[in-house]
Amino acid sequence: MLATPGLTALKDPAEARRVLLDDALAGLELVQRFDGSIVDVGSGGGTPGIPLAARLPEREVTLLEAERRKTQFLERWTDELPNLRVVWGRAEEQPNETFAVAVAKALAHPPVAAEWCLPLVREGGAAILWVGPSADAGAVAQVAAKLAGELDDAPPGFVVLRKTGPTPPGFPRRAGMAKKRPLA
């Protein structure tokens, strides 16, 4: 990957490969359950979006990132991967139902990540969250139920939320609300 000072604290190349590449591609088969465009929400240094774009060249992949400095780094990758584009902005401020699949790794606590990701996804698509072993799937399911989402089968380390209908009125809530007043 292109070097960028201060974006990650990873010094050991083997550890960097595991965190940036292998962890990202662990979700490849889940993403392939759903056709269509992909958005990586809170892409940071580009994972999982860049590895997914490289492995799925026929799929359009958008890296959505709130911090301008990080998007400047991410934009360098668009020369190498024509199916990649970068958007600077917050998830809560994007148009609803623009993508088939939203992926997110280390974006926020899973209930918050679910609230940010599900409105971006069209009916029939899914939000796919890379989560830690202690993730509370029950809380995520409660949030999903308020956003026309429902839990799908997923291996350990992932939550898959299938979008079963249009986003209910009132979502996304304004920036900051998902963390301040979590839905579950």
Q: Is 105 in the site for ligand SAM (CB under 6 A)?
A: yes
Q: Is 67 in the site for ligand SAM (CB under 6 A)?
A: yes
Our CB check for ligand SAM shows the closer of 97 and 164 to be: 97
Task: Pull the structure tokens for residue 34.
Answer: 């759903």
Q: Is 63 in the site for ligand SAM (CB under 6 A)?
A: no
Contact 35, 12 (CB under 8 A): no
Sign of CA dihedral 6, 12, 13, 17: negative
Least gap, CB of 87 to ligand SAM (angstroms): 9
CA dist 70 → 75, 87, 176, 178 (Å): 9, 11, 20, 23
Q: Is 116 in the site for ligand SAM (CB under 6 A)?
A: yes
Q: Is 121 in the site for ligand SAM (CB under 6 A)?
A: no
Quote the CA–CA distance of 152 and 84 in Å, as a whole number: 27
Q: Is 107 in the site for ligand SAM (CB under 6 A)?
A: yes
- List residues near ligand SAM by CB under 6 A: 41-45, 47, 64-67, 70, 90-92, 105-107, 116
